[in-house]
Structure 1
Amino acid sequence: MTEHLNRLTPRQIVFELDQYIIGQNDAKRNVAIALRNRWRRMNSPEDIQKEIIPNNILMIGATGVGKTEIARRLAKIADAPFVKVEASKFTEVGYVGRDVESMVRDLVEQAVGMVRTQKKEEVKLKAEQAVEDIILDALIPPVHGSSSVKIQPDNNTSEVMPENDAELNQRTRERFREKIRNGELDSRKIDIEVQQNQAPNVGMIGGAMDDVSMMNIQEMIGNMMPRRGKKRKVTVEEARKILLDEEASKLIDMDEVKMEAIKKAENLGIIFIDEIDKVASSRSGGGGGPDVSREGVQRDLLPIVEGSAVNTKHGVINTDHILFVAAGAFHVAKPSDLIPELQGRFPIRVELNSLTEADFYQILKTPKNALTKQYVAMMESEGVELEFEDGALKEIARIAFEVNSEVENIGARRLQTVMSLLLNDFMFDIPDVIGADSHIVVTAELVSEKLSALVKNRDLSQYIL
């Protein structure tokens, strides 16, 4: 588990984040240190490991400046289970504590999925061989048993002569096996049997039951019910996909998967709690109203962030070493409006900068997943070449920044709307009007022509996100 993290030094982590996120160097440095500290903890003496708690991070910044993207990319770099939740969803009427625990259960589900995928990859070769045999049996059923005969020659020595049908069947099967491997029979239809779980949906009459109990009952009844097969007529290509997952599942030990997944979630899991400012309550207000509900939500979040044991369908998970990253714009409330106990659980505070016009230009040009590169790839699939002049990128950045300043600052998300408005006519005309082998050049003049109304007409601008 720690081998992958060993290669990720803080500088290497920041370098990886730079491939997708422009600016926000302070935030990147802090999450890089937090991630590296996990490797440091797991490689510390055993007697001190449990005492080293993660430095949870509170990100403060307007929408669209990269808070979520930093956390999500960090999880991908670390190959760690990641869950994003909105704190505001826990403010509903009738809210109960188990809803807060659901984010930990979601994290365990993510971890189980990751470990299961890894295990299936390890047994993929064996599973492919088993699938090949099943498909071959469906195409050419094997001849069972031996019908060979003994012949007594003149020299009194017995000789066994193979029966012709069995030998022919074997040679035919080998020829068809080669055809299956080469994909020559992918379109051939065959009958296969797919296993189905006959577990019914369970409804409870009477008092309320928590999610874990319901999941456990469902799983228990599912295990008691017999698994029945269902015949399906599919192509060889489809059969290979359907059966591969089934055969790989038979080869892996799910108990081992669950144990590894819980360990992975406990030591590497990242939970991103967005809109934490929405549950912060003003200290100057009275003692009633919605502020009471918000403070209740914070108190329900507190034990999870502090470290507690949570029951899941896969086992008990301790949240002591899960990394929590909270984020909010804090336009109305302040971080100090959070209850002191919760503030203390987010010792690292990072303020993210609002995006400038220069940032917008770099976001369009530099990241691996830049919007311009996405549009180039989409048009390439139609055989159309799309090119952006440097002046066009600067003009797009200027307009996006201007609209953000005058209407509503939604950060980098503004670029998606502006780019869509700019290129929608081309996207509509391909391939009917603009055919393959065409070359489209986006110039600064074209950008000004297409988007000038957006900036001049404020009434129009308010309808653009």
Structure 2
Amino acid sequence: MSGNDFIIVDSEEHEESASAEEKKDVAVSESEKDKQDDEYEKVCFMCHRPESIAGKMIEMPNHITICQSCMQRSFDSMTNGSLDFSKLMNSIPGIQFLNLSDLENAIPKRQKIKKKKEAKEKPVKKLNIRDMPVPHKIKARLDEYVVGQEHAKKAMSVAVYNHYKRVASGTLDDIEIEKSNMLMIGPTGSGKTYLVKTLAKLLDVPLAITDATSLTEAGYIGDDIESVVSKLLAAADNDVERAEQGIIFIDEIDKIAKKRNSSQRDVSGESVQQGMLKLLEGSEVEVPVGANSKNAMVPLTTVNTKNILFICGGAFPDLDIIIKERLSKKTSMGFNAELKDTYEKDRELLSKVTVEDLRKFGMIPEFIGRLPIIFTLRGLDKDMLVKILKEPRNAILKQYQKLLALDEVSLDFDEGALEAIAEKAMEKDTGARALRAIIEEFMLDIMYEIPKDDNIGQVTITREYIEGTGGPVIQLRSQSVPLLNQTV
């Protein structure tokens, strides 16, 4: 090729290749944009609701999206000849008449709401009686977490096992097994709620724990009675069939007792008991999905409570006084006379409760009749409190030992310290809940000071430290003999 030769390039061919590259770049940018848009929800321009609530959006020019309900309202307003469109914006709140030509110069920034991550679908598990643990195995697992209360654990284990045998058997023959709802009575801090929570870990069934204090009669401020079932439905991931085989624990059931000497309507007492009668016995109820009360904006579903096991629990304060009055009705003179203080220090007094005592407390007989299994929990004594401190799998002392182990420090408690803690808890008279408050109080300084010194290898809590007459025993890493009476 000579120096005067020229290379002739077809201009049309060059333009086509350039335009192809531009189209490719535009396609890549649009795909990235679509990928980015997939992470966000579209928002209605008129009502500002996201697509997950309002439904599928209608695309308009200039990146405007409108939900179908707002679009329908706009069409209805335009087709109705009796309306004055010039006054439509000011007369009807919530309805806007769109003029797209006016929006060209004043288009707001595109509103985006990030989508919630979709939860992975859990495999649906069907109830199989062969997979259910037998009563002695259920009780053995409860023993690992709950100290004492042997009768209560045995009663719960048998009732739960029989309930699921009843559910699994269905209607195999003409004999229909009745439901065994339970009523737990025990002082505060005796482990009523903790027993049910532990049972929920052991059984692979949906369980809902709710409170009776917020329940009111339908139509009044508060939660409707059906809200206890809606919580179970939420625990079962809105699977109605699975929820119909679950367990509902209603705590503080004594708070819905009949109010005495009340001239007003008892909307949170006797009315709630009457509203729960069919719920406990077994009936089809309409339950709001994802809400505590029914309204026009919440979808409803029907749940049959025939196979739902109800466990009710309450402290029933002053019930012991009612039991004492009944037991002390014998004559105070003669051979059958009883001393007035015979039942004053009886720790097993609650175990002598009868249906008549509960009726006198304020529970209506129809409600008690639907809770055939009634058992009591003992108040905690000193020995039980010491065992609660150290024996359960997640005991309080083990929790603090684990916390200090993260700082490479060993924590020990001698027997005198455990007894001193139990004695202080007995004085508070709030059961096992008092243990956490007491330990938090004297462990505050230790948890604050220990991370300051890397030489500390072991701390032993003594009775003197609990009583405020001495300090803990601290052992340094370089010493084989502990330094006695050295305070933190």
> Same fold, TM exceeding 0.5?
yes
SS state at 1:84 partner: strand
Cα pair distance change 1:307/1:28, threshold 3 Å: same
User: Does 2:371 align with 1:382?
Assistant: no
Using the TM superposition, give the Cα deviation of residue 371 of structure 1 relative to its aligned residue in structure 2, in angstroms. Answer: 0.2
Q: Answer whether contact 1:42 1:49 (CA < 8 A) is retained.
A: no
**Where do 5+ consecutive residues of structure 1 fail to align?**
113-257, 453-465
**Structure 2 CA distance for aligned equivalents of residues 49 and 436 of structure 1:** 74
1:178-211: CA deviation from partner (whole Å, max 9, x where unpaired): xxxxxxxxxxxxxxxxxxxxxxxxxxxxxxxxxx
With over 3 angstroms needed to count, the CA separation of the structure-2 counterparts of 1:43 and 1:396, relative to structure 1, is: same
CA change 1:47–1:450 in 2 (3 A) is farther
Find the counterpart in structure 2 of residue 264 from structure 1: 242
Residue 445 (str. 1) matches residue 420 (str. 2): no
Let me know the Cα RMSD of the aligned residues: 2.7
CA contact (8 A) 2:220 2:267 kept: no
**1:59 matched to which residue of 2?**
184
- Cα distance in 1 between the residues matched to 2:140 and 2:439: 27
1:436 CA drift (Å): 6.8
Residue 309 of structure 2 aligns with an amino acid whose one-letter code is: L
- Give the deviation of 1:311 after TM superposition: 3.2
TM-score when normalising by structure 2: 0.56
Amino acid at match of 1:302: L
In the alignment, which residue of structure 2 is the partner of 1:176? none
**Structure with bigger RCO (C-alpha 8 Å, 6+ apart):** 1
Q: Is residue 2:279 matched to residue 1:304?
A: yes
Point out where structure 2 has 5 or more consecutive residues left out of the alignment.
1-125, 290-299, 320-356, 472-488
2:247/2:311 contact within 8 Å kept? yes
- Cα distance change, pair 392–97 in 1 and its aligned pair in 2 (3 A): closer
**Cα deviation code 1:359-404 (max 9, x no counterpart):** 1011011100100001111111222221122332122112211x22
1:91 CA displacement: 4.1
State the SS of the aligned residue for 2:165: helix
Q: How many residues of Structure 1 are paired with residues of Structure 2 in the alignment? A: 296
Deviations for 1:85-104, whole angstroms, at most 9, x for unmatched residues?
22111149962797211111
Give the structure with the larger helix fraction: 1
CA distance in 2, matches of 1:436, 1:90: 56
Is 1:411 the equivalent of 2:409? Answer: no
1:88 aligns with 2:213: yes
* CA deviation after TM superposition for structure 1 residue 318, in Å: 0.8
State which drifts further: 306-315 or 63-72.
Answer: 306-315
Equivalent residue, structure 2, for 1:280 = 257
Aligned-residue offset at 1:84: 1.6
Question: Aligned with 1:83: secondary structure?
Answer: strand
Counterpart of 1:317, as a letter, is: V
- Aligned residue number for residue 23 of structure 1: 148
Aligned to 2:358: 335
1:420 aligns with 2:406: no
- Residues 65 and 31 (structure 1 numbering): CA distance in 2 closer, same or farther, change over 3 Å? same
Measured at CA, do residues 351 and 76 of structure 1 come closer, stay the same or move farther in structure 2, by a change above 3 Å?
Answer: same
Q: Which moved more, 1:388-397 or 1:10-19?
A: 388-397
Tell me, in whole angstroms, the C-alpha distance in 2 between the residues paired with 1:81 and 1:49.
29
CA distance in 2, matches of 1:20, 1:356: 18
Confirm or deny: 8 A CA contact 2:167 2:307 kept in the other structure. Answer: no
* Equivalent AA in structure 1 for residue 418 of structure 2: L
Query: Given residue 444 of structure 1, which amino acid in structure 2 is its aligned partner?
Result: R
CA distance in 2, matches of 1:399, 1:31: 31
What residue number does 2:64 align with?
none
1:291-311 alpha-carbon deviations (Å, 9 max, x no partner): 464111111222221212233
- 1:156-171 alignment runs, 5 A limit: none
Q: Matches of 1:377 and 1:111 in 2, distance apart?
A: 33
Partner secondary structure for residue 90 of structure 1: coil
Taking the aligned partners of 1:12 and 1:271, their CA distance within structure 2 comes to 22
Q: Partner of 2:391 in structure 1? A: 366
Larger radius of gyration: 2
Task: Supply the AA of the counterpart residue of 2:198.
Answer: R
AA partner of residue 364 (structure 2): I
Q: What is the one-letter code of the residue matched to 2:358?
A: P
Amino acid corresponding to residue 321 of structure 1 in structure 2: N
